[in-house]
Amino acid sequence: MSTTEFFFKYHGLGNDFIVLDCRQSGGDIDAEYSRWLCDRRRGVGADGVLSLLPSESGMARMVVHNADGSVAEMCGNGLRCAVKYLVDHSGEKPEHIDVETGAGLLSCAPGYGQDGVAEVEVSMGPARLVASNLPSGASGQPFVGAPVPGHSGLRGYAVNMGNPHLVLLDQPLEDAGRLGPELERHPGFPDRTNVEFVRVDKDGLTVVVWERGCGLTQACGTGACAAAVAAVLAKRLPADAWLRVTLPGGDLRIRVPSDLSDVRLRGPVSFVFTGVVPDLPGR
């Protein structure tokens, strides 16, 4: 058994991830190892760890480990990082690849530059307004432009993009660090939630995300999708058009169909560096 593990560091608009290719061993990491890897002083440093495991239906199965050791169902920026790793190390230039995630099998279209994959367009699947990890799971009714219980003056949109989101339109962006930690653990969201603080502009959105299990991040792909869905539902921006969503780390493009059936995300991805760390005991 080897005593070291190769890792690869990537980022999507500053939302950074450690990629571990576990397809040969088939073994995943645990919460303690994830927390250590993500520690920016004692480990490698990242917002999350992406474990790539064997898949019968896709090129790999991606498991998203948050910086706090919890596991997320899906991550749009992380998926683009995983696609760049998988394609750049395949020796081929496919037009599409499928990756298995906690939100299902997702189709991804790489865009190529001088250094391999430069951007990725992802078919994110449907935006769901009724789901077990949203307030609608208990009520059966979509939480759309509704008052947030326990928070006077706040109205939100609960959107499932494979993972849960609470979108606050017209909420000051600077409130993210103050309100985010409490809203992440709002009792209406049984698995906790990501929280989007959104300013609606004439030509798009400006968004700050408090990410479940990570805190404030430079970007969040599923959060950008959820924010765009809320803006379309509120009739503040048009459906079936590529919308600009500006996050602290840069811009993503999101397309929300009028029936919410298949939200599309397009954005850049970059390789940072590679290295070795101690192997997970027992692997």
- pLDDT score of 280: 60
How far apart, in whole angstroms, are the C-alpha atoms of residue 255 and residue 271?
Answer: 26
Residues, the chain, total?
283
- pLDDT score of 187: 96
- pLDDT score of 5: 83
- Calculated CA dihedral for residues 248, 207, 186, 130, nearest 10 degrees: -130
- pLDDT score of 210: 98
Cβ–Cβ under 8 Å, residues 177 and 216: yes
How far apart, in whole angstroms, are the C-alpha atoms of residue 213 and residue 210?
Answer: 9
The residues annotated as belonging to the active site are 75, 220
Sign of CA dihedral 76, 77, 79, 80: positive
Looking at the whole model, is its pTM more than 0.75? yes
- pLDDT score of 282: 46
How far apart, in whole angstroms, are the C-alpha atoms of residue 4 and residue 56?
Answer: 27
DSSP-assigned letter for residue 280: P
**Which residues is 72 bridged to in the sheet?**
64
- pLDDT score of 47: 97
Instruction: Write out residues in the chain with pLDDT < 70, as ranges.
Output: 1-3, 280-283
